[in-house]
């Protein structure tokens, strides 16, 4: 039997402290759907006994607290074994103190994760301490258990300026991976991959804006007759960000018709961009709300969807929610990068 929770808001009272708790999941078949989770010590903790868990459509932000060793607290902290697959789809993570998404274990396993259509930005940006910060951190620290059966497709990250250290992405470090698929992802900031790699594939990825060129390491003995770089198909590596053009992605919500997440890479810093939202499920004549996720309850623009399929989105003059208990102002990446939710007004 599966159970689900949706459209609930979890807001603590009081300052940012490590003891503020989290949502702890250690049971089979639980689904977390379309929730708003913010200002907790940790966001969702998804442990190995949470078999066949689905985490879908959630917005998770301002998670964690600062300690002397750096920012702590993660949007999701998870592990998984060889039974069942954990689905992490269509979520938005931003402005953690620790890592936006941390899958890590020293004594257990980090196996069988299916991670798709997520948007992650400003990993670690709430922290005022200079330390390594991450959007994705997917690492096994168990020498007997490399990461197995990891699927990452159509995920979109942005690092930008966090005022201390730019966010990076670390996947498969320490003991490598078995059967890893990286397809059609945008990895912003330094990408840290370390072998050995067995049954590795990468297709259509865009890796950009690293502190240096992407950090990639492989054990040549485990890549057969191909070099590790030859395994990257239709992929682009750029040390710097583009300075012109526009990329955007509209990700419809399978549980709520007429609702979608939107990630916008506004490389040319235009004040207004035009976005085709015909894939959102909206119908001509529908009233909609366009929500800046960085101020989810206040920065909302209303409109009516027309048969043209496109809407104009302002990339300036937005507001941002302050993390509870923090004196650090929210870090904005506008106009270069912005994330919105579009939803039909009932």
What digits encode the pLDDT tens for the residues 130-142? 877 899 999 999 9
Strand 65-67 to 70-72 pairing: antiparallel
Read off the pLDDT of each residue in 149-178 and give the average, rounded to a whole number.
88
Lowest mean pLDDT among 4-13, 106-115, 297-306: 4-13
What pLDDT was estimated at residue 178?
94
Q: Output the average pLDDT for the chain.
A: 89
pLDDT over 90, % of the chain: 73
Residue 11, pLDDT > 50, answer: no
What pLDDT was estimated at residue 110?
96
CATH number of 247-344: 2.60.40
What pLDDT was estimated at residue 1?
30
Sort 174 into a burial class: Cβ within 10 Å, 0-12 / 13-18 / 19+: middle
Lowest mean pLDDT among 24-28, 163-167, 184-188, 316-320: 163-167
- Chain segment 220-266, per-residue pLDDT in tens: 555 555 677 788 899 998 888 999 999 999 999 999 999 999 999 99
What pLDDT was estimated at residue 215?
67
Residue 15, pLDDT > 60, answer: no
Residue 176 is given by DSSP the state -
Do the Cβ atoms of 226 and 220 come closer than 8 Å?
Answer: no
What pLDDT was estimated at residue 314?
98
Confidence of residue 210 (pLDDT cuts 50, 70, 90): confident
What pLDDT was estimated at residue 293?
98
pLDDT over 70, % of the chain: 89
The pTM (predicted TM-score) of the whole model is: 0.92
Residue 303, pLDDT > 70, answer: yes
Rounded Cα gap, residues 259 and 282, in angstroms: 8
Quick one: CA dihedral 70, 71, 72, 74, positive or negative?
Answer: negative
């Amino acid at each position: 039997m599966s159970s689900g929770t949706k459209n609930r808001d979890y807001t603590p009272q009081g300052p940012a402290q490590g003891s503020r708790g989290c949502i702890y999941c250690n049971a089979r078949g639980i689904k977390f759907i379309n929730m708003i989770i913010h200002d907790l010590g940790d966001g969702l903790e998804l442990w190995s006994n949470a078999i066949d868990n689905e985490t879908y459509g959630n917005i998770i932000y301002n998670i964690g607290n600062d300690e002397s060793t750096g920012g702590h607290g993660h949007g999701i902290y998870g592990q998984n074994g060889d039974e069942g697959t954990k689905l992490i789809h269509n979520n938005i993570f931003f402005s953690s103190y620790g890592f936006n998404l941390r899958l890590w274990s020293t004594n257990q396993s980090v196996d069988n994760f299916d991670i798709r259509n997520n948007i992650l930005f400003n990993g670690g940006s709430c922290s005022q301490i200079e330390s390594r910060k991450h959007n994705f951190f997917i690492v096994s620290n168990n020498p007997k258990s490399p990461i197995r059966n990891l699927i990452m497709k159509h995920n979109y990250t942005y690092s930008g300026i966090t005022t201390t250290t730019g966010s990076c992405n670390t996947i498969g470090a320490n003991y490598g991976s078995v059967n890893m698929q990286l397809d059609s992802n945008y990895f912003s900031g330094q990408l840290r991959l370390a072998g050995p790699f067995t049954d590795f594939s990468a297709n259509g990825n865009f890796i950009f804006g690293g502190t240096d060129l992407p950090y990639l390491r492989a054990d040549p003995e485990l890549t057969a007759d191909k070099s590790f770089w030859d395994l990257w198909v239709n992929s682009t590596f750029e040390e710097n960000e583009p300075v012109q053009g526009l990329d955007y992605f509209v990700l419809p919500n399978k549980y709520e018709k007429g609702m979608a997440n939107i990630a916008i890479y506004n490389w040319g810093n235009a004040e207004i961009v035009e976005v085709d939202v015909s894939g959102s499920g909206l119908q001509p004549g529908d009233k909609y709300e366009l929500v800046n996720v960085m101020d989810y309850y206040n920065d909302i623009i209303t409109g009516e969807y027309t048969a043209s399929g496109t809407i104009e989105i302002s990339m300036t003059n937005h507001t941002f929610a302050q993390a509870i208990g923090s004196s650090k102002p929210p870090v904005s990446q506008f106009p270069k990068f912005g994330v919105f939710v579009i939803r039909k007004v009932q």
